[in-house]
């Protein structure tokens, strides 16, 4: 009997039938053709004729022999009324789909020309039905992948914000930021001093324009109540360097800001909206800033209000001829416009030359110092941010790989369950490509569903980050077109990762094996086991690498947050106050007012100690001063000892909680005394008076050129260390001096309160208002809240790492569970036999546990290597944590091994409950 | 327009008549596909013939509509075969189709002046 299956199969192929349906059809039609063939043979036909005639029953693509298409001819020629005149009806009948016109006609056509898109659509429909059928498993896969995609999308959101989105200035591609690299202080992004800025501007030829800005607090009268505002003092060319236009009015004219010109100011869009109700008439109004009158000439574009610039209220011209506190103090943020014909490298080459010249001219202020230009994009993203972003990228990518490996295991298991069906379809002539496409389509559906859910998760994650983040820059995070495209790409690419291997493997089964084998052994091949083992090892390894990196980040953040600050932030309230003309015109006058306010504060109930200082501890930068020590040989000017300088007044040690270790703080007679005094911190004492007490020593401050800048100062006390540089940096050597009259124009008041700090706020404000109703006072804020705001970004970063690592861990542990459970199911028969032969429960459990443990340990070995390699790249961002921190390694390895063992113990203990009798009976 | 309508009528007629044939043949007992095609050919004395390509799609369609039901039945010493039997819904349809056909045939006969034999 001829085999019809191939012929039938070929004709059915175009229909994309469900495999079981297709098999039934093939069987039924084969029987029909067998019957017809037998009948023809009995009637005397040769084998060939019978075969040909029977096959003709199936129909052919071309016009059928002996059959005319005209109804009349059919009637006369004995042709049958064809029940289904159009073969496409069959397609419709069998699949419920209206076939495309180009679709090959069902039984009557060789289906090989089936449109790819049409076929894909069929595959997708079939896949969707299967996924809905196994909706529990599908849901787990979708959630796993969605979380991994969301993690990647969130990190992409940051990358998009920091790297991809255009900066809101026109000259973004040519603007460079110029920093000083001070290797001695270990700072690679130091601002420049005004004098260095002026030199740079004079000497640089590769730069078309050089501009500077410095942010100060100022008092403002003329916009509601007198208030302290943030002012960006800028050289008038800053806005033109950036290519930034006015929103209303105009920007600065080139010669504004030089002495003799009328004072002008530009409002930030935010300030204009908040305090002038966005009134166009605000342009032309007169304001009093720091006691000087100026005219508003414009409102700046709101686009620029990102990051620190979002805090700026007013823009004023910077008078570079004015003597700043010190021309060597590094206060200026410098921007320059690269000439179109020069490259960044050329700019940096010229900056090296200029740095050398500056060093020769003023060695003291340029020790180990070098100018460096970077693109504004690079400058916007801090060096640390780059590393964190890259790490987050790698971590989330690994989480995605873990998720894909996990899903691949699920797909393998599922493909194993369908092994017999697949073998049958292959035996009946289905092509391998066709099967792979079918399996890939299912993966694609999973990917798309996960991508859509992942976008939802990412949106929630980014929204949460924006709510928690104190940084206005991050408010621009958004699910935009870039991010959607990214998520979509992942949802299309990831199925290739997790579905290809199972698809290729299951579409190449050993036909004999699989057709012979019962369901019990489906998928038990050694090849399947090997794939599952590799996938499991990969999951454990990558999850561990993610855990190691995240563990190091957690250790660092914890270290930063628990580092002794050196002061007691709790119960401390701060406010900055300005003493400006016309009320306050001289230093001594200001100082008197500061002292009288301090007295009033100290007498206020709820305030136990009050002090004034020119720098907010920990948060505000401090100027670096150099000095000589009396009685010690004077070193080279470039090797002079240096300290951070802070001026204080009042009960500073009790107000801040910094411990007085030796000697004393200020006495009333220190002020105006002919004998200047100072207090140093422990770090300065350790460095410059090693092994002895600095008390009684005399030092002399020196100017940039080495000239003495002060009378000899006597060290009268030593206080404990306090950190600086926004908490991150270790305590520098520091000197405290009594508040000088010339520093009293802008003063921070510190008040310690034993009650809930915020409660004393109104009392402090009352004291200030009673002192002078017109004082420009900034908000009275609890210091711990300011520190917390500062640290919140660290918390958020830590939270992200912990979140992503948790996803990785959970997925990997679920993978261990899944593989063990699969293996238990697979070997149920074997277990039954073993138990019938006397194996104990412990034997059975250890059988599975030892296999799991072996795989987990291999994963741990690979993961430790990967984590170690990644940890080394993070060295520069780790604080008080070694990249090979033993505690981190021990914890995360313990975590993954223990949770892995528990995950395999659950299914393994289920194996014990297998009933040997039932197993043997089934035999 | 007229032409299209007549084509549709033609098709519906043919489809309707083929359905009627199948339903009638499985009314008394379940039958498999080859049996049905042989019966139609024999009883129409060779005038009506169904090819595989027409018969099976029709069977599946009737089954899908719930008028007939196919079941795999294994008989001793034979391969299993798919037998189709009439469902209660199919009985109703058969009854109504028979009436329609009778009325239609009589109308044609009356008009065409063909004597029924």
The reply to whether B79 touches chain A by the CB within 8 Å rule is: yes
Q: Chain A: residue nearest B64 by CA?
A: A93
Residue A428 binned pLDDT confidence (cut-offs 50, 70, 90): low
Q: Between β-strands A660-663 and A624-629, what pairing exists: parallel, antiparallel or unpaired?
A: unpaired
Q: Residue B46: its chain A contacts at CB < 8 A?
A: 78
A450 and A142 in contact (C-beta within 8 Å)?
A: yes
Which residue is associated with the tokens 């009033």? Answer: A600
Return phi, psi of residue A782, to 5°: -65, 135
The reply to whether B20 touches chain A by the CB within 8 Å rule is: no
Q: Which of A476-490, A636-650, A662-676 has the highest mean pLDDT?
A: A476-490
Q: Residue A55: its chain B contacts at CB < 8 A?
A: none
Average pLDDT of the segment spanning A317-338: 79
Cβ contact B61–A36 (<8 Å): no
pLDDT digits (tens, 9 = 90+) for A182-226: 887 777 788 898 889 999 999 999 999 999 998 888 888 887 777
Average pLDDT of the segment spanning A460-466: 92
Cβ contact A80–B57 (<8 Å): no
d(CA A702, CA A364): 10
A427 and A515 in contact (C-beta within 8 Å)?
A: yes
Q: What is the pLDDT along chain B (117 residues), one digit of tens a residue?
A: 444 444 444 455 555 678 888 999 999 889 999 889 888 888 887 777 777 777 888 888 888 888 999 988 887 777 788 999 999 999 998 998 888 888 878 887 888 776 544
Average pLDDT of the segment spanning A448-474: 89
Cβ contact B34–A78 (<8 Å): no
Looking at CA atoms only, how far is residue A65 from chain B in angstroms? 13
- Whether pLDDT at A852 is above 80: yes
Looking at CA atoms only, how far is residue A549 from chain B in angstroms? 59
The partner residue sitting opposite B46, judged by closest CB among A57, A78, A90, is A78
Least confident of A127-131, A368-372, A737-741: A127-131
- Whether pLDDT at A85 is above 60: no
- Please, what is the average pLDDT of chain A? 82
d(CA A451, CA A429): 35
Looking at CA atoms only, how far is residue A511 from chain B in angstroms? 23
The partner residue sitting opposite A85, judged by closest CB among B11, B17, B60, is B11
Least confident of A129-133, A352-356, A417-421: A417-421
ipTM of the complex: 0.84
Looking at CA atoms only, how far is residue B15 from chain A in angstroms? 5
Residue A917 binned pLDDT confidence (cut-offs 50, 70, 90): confident
The confidence score (pLDDT) of residue A865 equals: 94
- Strand segments, DSSP code E, in chain B are 31-32, 68-73, 81-86
| Closest residue by Cα to residue A597 from A763, A753, A720, A737 | A763
The partner residue sitting opposite B34, judged by closest CB among A35, A85, A106, is A35
Burial B97-113 (b: 16+ CB within 10 A, else e): beeeeeeeeeeeeeeee
DSSP, res A163: I
The reply to whether B11 touches chain A by the CB within 8 Å rule is: yes
Average pLDDT of the segment spanning A733-739: 93
Least confident of A62-66, A804-808, A864-868: A62-66
The reply to whether B57 touches chain A by the CB within 8 Å rule is: yes
Q: Which of A35, A53, A83 to mutate to test the interface with B (most CBs of B within 10 A)?
A: A83
For residue A236, what are its two tokens? 């008038």
d(CA A232, CA A311): 10
Across the A:B interface, residue pairs with CB atoms under 8 Å apart total: 88
Cβ contact B52–A32 (<8 Å): yes
Cβ contact A93–B60 (<8 Å): yes
pLDDT digits (tens, 9 = 90+) for A348-402: 999 999 999 998 888 878 888 899 999 888 877 766 778 888 889 999 999 999 9
Cβ contact B56–A24 (<8 Å): no
d(CA A29, CA B53): 10
The confidence score (pLDDT) of residue B9 equals: 47
Sheet arrangement for strand B68-73: B31-32, B81-86, B68-73
Which residue is associated with the tokens 């009378």? Answer: A711
Cβ contact B18–A79 (<8 Å): no
Residue A327 binned pLDDT confidence (cut-offs 50, 70, 90): low
Q: For the CA atoms of chain B, what is the radius of gyration?
A: 16
Cβ contact B82–A24 (<8 Å): yes
Least confident of A416-425, A505-514, B53-62: A505-514
Q: Which of A31, A84, A86, A105 to mutate to test the interface with B (most CBs of B within 10 A)?
A: A84
Cβ contact A83–B57 (<8 Å): yes
Return phi, psi of residue A419, to 5°: -60, -45
Q: Which of residues 33-62 of A touch B (CB under 8 A)?
A: 33, 35-36, 57-59
Residue A510 binned pLDDT confidence (cut-offs 50, 70, 90): low
Residue A486 binned pLDDT confidence (cut-offs 50, 70, 90): very high
Average pLDDT of the segment spanning A497-521: 63
Residue A105 binned pLDDT confidence (cut-offs 50, 70, 90): very low
| Closest residue by Cα to residue A437 from A491, A492, A499 | A499
The reply to whether A77 touches chain B by the CB within 8 Å rule is: no
Cβ contact B57–A106 (<8 Å): yes
The confidence score (pLDDT) of residue A747 equals: 92
| Spatial CB neighbours of A312, under 8 Å, sequence gap ≥ 6 | A215, A230, A231, A232, A268, A271, A305
Cβ contact A28–B56 (<8 Å): yes
Return phi, psi of residue A73, to 5°: -60, -40
Least confident of A89-93, A340-344, A692-696: A89-93
The partner residue sitting opposite B14, judged by closest CB among A24, A85, A89, is A85
The confidence score (pLDDT) of residue A788 equals: 82
The partner residue sitting opposite A81, judged by closest CB among B18, B33, B79, is B18
Beta-bridge mates of residue B32: B83
Cβ contact B52–A58 (<8 Å): yes
| Spatial CB neighbours of A271, under 8 Å, sequence gap ≥ 6 | A223, A229, A312, A313, A314
The reply to whether A28 touches chain B by the CB within 8 Å rule is: yes
Q: Which of the pair, A330 or A203, is modelled with greater confidence?
A: A203
Average pLDDT of the segment spanning A321-348: 83
d(CA B70, CA B56): 11
Cα-Cα-Cα-Cα dihedral of A867, A868, A874, A875, to 10°? 160
d(CA A484, CA A697): 66
The confidence score (pLDDT) of residue A97 equals: 36
Cβ contact B11–A84 (<8 Å): no
The confidence score (pLDDT) of residue A648 equals: 94
Residue B5 exposed, middle or buried by CB count within 10 Å (0-12, 13-18, 19+)? exposed
Q: Chain B: residue nearest A105 by CA?
A: B53
Q: Residue A85: its chain B contacts at CB < 8 A?
A: 11, 14-15
Average pLDDT of the segment spanning A815-834: 83
Cβ contact A58–B53 (<8 Å): yes
Q: Residue A87: its chain B contacts at CB < 8 A?
A: 53, 57
Q: Which of residues 32-51 of B touch A (CB under 8 A)?
A: 32-34, 37, 46-51
Q: Residue A81: its chain B contacts at CB < 8 A?
A: 14, 17-18, 48
Average pLDDT of the segment spanning A761-778: 87
Average pLDDT of the segment spanning A83-97: 42
pLDDT digits (tens, 9 = 90+) for A134-185: 788 788 889 989 999 999 999 999 888 888 877 778 888 899 999 999 887 7
Q: Which of B57, B59, B78, B79 to mutate to test the interface with A (most CBs of A within 10 A)?
A: B57
pLDDT digits (tens, 9 = 90+) for A673-695: 668 999 999 999 999 999 999 99
Beta-bridge mates of residue A609: A752
Least confident of A184-198, A382-396, A505-519, A790-804: A505-519
Q: Which of the pair, B6 or A464, is modelled with greater confidence?
A: A464
d(CA A915, CA A921): 10
Q: Residue B14: its chain A contacts at CB < 8 A?
A: 81-83, 85
Q: Residue B60: its chain A contacts at CB < 8 A?
A: 90, 93-94
Cβ contact A59–B64 (<8 Å): no
The confidence score (pLDDT) of residue A526 equals: 65
DSSP helix/strand/coil, A267: strand
Looking at CA atoms only, how far is residue B98 from chain A in angstroms? 17
d(CA B117, CA B114): 9
Looking at CA atoms only, how far is residue A57 from chain B in angstroms? 5
Structural domains of chain B in order of their starting residue, each with its CATH number = 16-111 (1.10.10.10)
Q: Which of the pair, A319 or A654, is modelled with greater confidence?
A: A654
First to last CA, chain B: 36
Q: Which of the pair, A62 or A279, is modelled with greater confidence?
A: A279
Q: Residue B8: its chain A contacts at CB < 8 A?
A: none
The confidence score (pLDDT) of residue A513 equals: 55
The partner residue sitting opposite B53, judged by closest CB among A24, A59, A81, is A59
């Amino acid at each position: 009997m001829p085999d019809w299956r191939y012929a039938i199969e070929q004709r059915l192929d175009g229909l994309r039938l469900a495999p079981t349906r297709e098999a039934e059809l093939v069987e039924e039609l084969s029987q029909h053709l067998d019957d017809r063939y037998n009948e023809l043979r009995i009637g005397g036909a040769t084998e060939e004729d019978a075969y040909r005639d029977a096959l003709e029953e199936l129909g052919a693509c071309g016009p059928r022999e002996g059959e005319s298409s005209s109804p009349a001819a059919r009637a006369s020629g004995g042709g049958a009324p064809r029940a289904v005149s159009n073969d496409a009806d069959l397609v419709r009948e069998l699949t419920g789909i209206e076939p495309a016109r180009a679709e090959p006609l069902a039984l009557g056509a060789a289906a090989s020309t089936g449109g790819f898109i049409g076929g894909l659509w069929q595959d997708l429909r079939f896949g969707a039905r299967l996924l809905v059928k196994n909706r529990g498993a599908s849901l787990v896969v979708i959630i796993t992948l969605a979380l991994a995609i969301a993690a990647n999308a969130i990190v992409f959101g940051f990358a998009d914000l920091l790297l991809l989105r255009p900066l809101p200035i026109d000259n973004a591609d040519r603007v460079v930021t110029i920093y000083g690299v001070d290797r001695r202080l270990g700072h690679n992004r130091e601002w420049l001093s005004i004098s260095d800025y002026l030199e740079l501007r004079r000497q640089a030829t590769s730069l078309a324009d050089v501009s500077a800005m410095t942010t100060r607090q100022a008092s403002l009268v003329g916009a509601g109540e007198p208030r302290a505002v943030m002012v960006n003092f800028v050289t008038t060319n800053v806005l033109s360097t950036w290519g930034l236009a006015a929103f209303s009015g105009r920007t600065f004219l080139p010669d504004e800001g030089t002495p003799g010109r009328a004072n002008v100011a530009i409002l930030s869009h935010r300030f204009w909206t908040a305090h002038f109700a966005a009134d166009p008439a605000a342009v032309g109004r007169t304001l009093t800033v720091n006691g000087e009158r100026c005219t508003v000439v414009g409102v700046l574009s709101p686009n620029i209000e990102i990051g620190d610039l979002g805090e700026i209220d007013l823009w004023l011209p910077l008078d570079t001829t004015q003597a700043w506190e010190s021309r060597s103090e590094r206060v200026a943020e410098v921007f320059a416009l690269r000439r179109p014909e020069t490259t960044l490298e050329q700019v940096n080459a010229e900056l090296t030359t200029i740095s050398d010249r500056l060093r020769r001219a003023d060695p003291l202020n340029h020790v180990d110092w070098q100018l460096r230009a970077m693109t504004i994009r690079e400058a916007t993203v801090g060096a640390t941010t780059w590393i964190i972003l890259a790490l987050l990228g790698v971590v989330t990518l690994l989480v995605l790989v873990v998720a894909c490996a996990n899903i691949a295991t699920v797909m393998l298991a599922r493909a194993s369950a369908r092994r017999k069906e697949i073998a049958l379809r292959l035996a009946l002539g289905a092509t391998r490509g066709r099967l792979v496409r079918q399996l890939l389509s299912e993966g694609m559906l999973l990917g798309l569903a996960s991508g859509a859910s992942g976008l939802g998760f990412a949106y929630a994650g980014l929204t949460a980050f924006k709510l928690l983040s104190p940084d206005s820059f991050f408010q621009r995070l958004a699910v935009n077109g870039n991010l959607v495209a990214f998520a979509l790409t992942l949802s299309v690419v990831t199925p290739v990762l997790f579905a290809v291997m199972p698809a290729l493997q299951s579409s190449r089964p050993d036909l004999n094996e699989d057709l012979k084998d019962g369901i019990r052994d489906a998928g038990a091949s050694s090849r399947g086991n090997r794939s599952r083992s590799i996938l499991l090892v990969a999951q454990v390894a990558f999850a561990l690498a993610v855990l190691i990196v995240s563990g190091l980040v957690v250790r660092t953040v914890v270290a930063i947050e628990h580092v002794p600050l050196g002061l007691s932030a709790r119960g401390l309230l701060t406010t900055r106050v300005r003493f400006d003309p016309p009320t306050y015109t001289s230093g001594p006058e200001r100082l008197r007012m500061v002292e009288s306010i301090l007295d009033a504060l100290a007498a206020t109930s709820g305030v136990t100690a009050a002090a004034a200082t020119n720098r907010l501890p920990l948060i505000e930068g401090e100027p670096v001063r150099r000095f000589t020590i009396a009685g010690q040989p004077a070193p080279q000017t470039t090797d002079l000892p240096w300290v951070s300088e802070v001026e204080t007044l009042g009960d500073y040690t009790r107000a801040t909680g910094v411990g007085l270790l030796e000697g004393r703080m200020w006495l009333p007679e220190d002020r105006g005394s002919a004998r200047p005094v100072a207090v140093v911190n422990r770090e300065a004492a350790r460095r410059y008076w090693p092994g002895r007490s600095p008390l009684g020593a005399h030092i002399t401050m020196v100017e940039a050129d080495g000239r003495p800048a002060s009378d000899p100062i006597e060290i009268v006390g030593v206080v404990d260390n306090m950190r600086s540089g926004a908490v991150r940096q270790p305590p520098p050597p520091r000197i405290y001096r009594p508040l000088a009259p010339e520093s009293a124009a802008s003063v921070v008041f510190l008040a310690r309160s034993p009650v809930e700090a915020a409660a004393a706020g109104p009392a402090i404000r009352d004291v200030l208002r009673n002192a002078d109703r017109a004082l420009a006072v900034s908000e009275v804020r609890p210091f711990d809240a300011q520190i917390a705001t500062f640290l919140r970004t660290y918390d958020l970063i830590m939270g992200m790492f912990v979140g992503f690592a948790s996803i990785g861990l959970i997925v990997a542990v679920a993978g261990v569970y899944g593989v063990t459970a699969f293996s238990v199911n697979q070997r149920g028969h074997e277990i039954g036999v073993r138990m019938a032969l006397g194996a104990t429960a412990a034997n059975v459990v250890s059988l599975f546990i030892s296999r799991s443990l072996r795989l987990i340990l291999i994963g741990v070995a690979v993961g430790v290597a990967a984590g170690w390699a990644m940890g080394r790249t993070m060295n520069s961002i780790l604080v008080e944590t070694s990249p090979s921190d033993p505690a981190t390694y021990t914890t995360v390895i313990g975590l993954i091994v223990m949770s892995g063992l528990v995950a395999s113990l659950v299914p393994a203990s289920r194996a014990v409950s297998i009933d040997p009798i039932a197993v043997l009976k089934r035999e | 327009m007229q032409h299209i309508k007549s084509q549709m009528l033609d098709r519906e007629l043919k489809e309707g008549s083929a359905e009627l044939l199948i339903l009638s043949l499985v009314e008394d007992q379940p039958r498999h596909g080859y049996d049905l095609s042989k019966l139609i050919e024999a009883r129409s004395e060779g005038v009506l013939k169904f090819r595989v390509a027409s018969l099976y799609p029709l069977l599946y369609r009737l089954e899908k509509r719930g008028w007939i039901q196919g079941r795999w039945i294994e008989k001793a010493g034979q391969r299993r075969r798919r037998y189709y039997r009439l469902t209660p819904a199919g009985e109703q349809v058969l009854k109504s189709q028979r009436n329609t056909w009778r009325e239609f045939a009589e109308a044609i006969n009356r008009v065409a002046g063909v004597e029924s034999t």
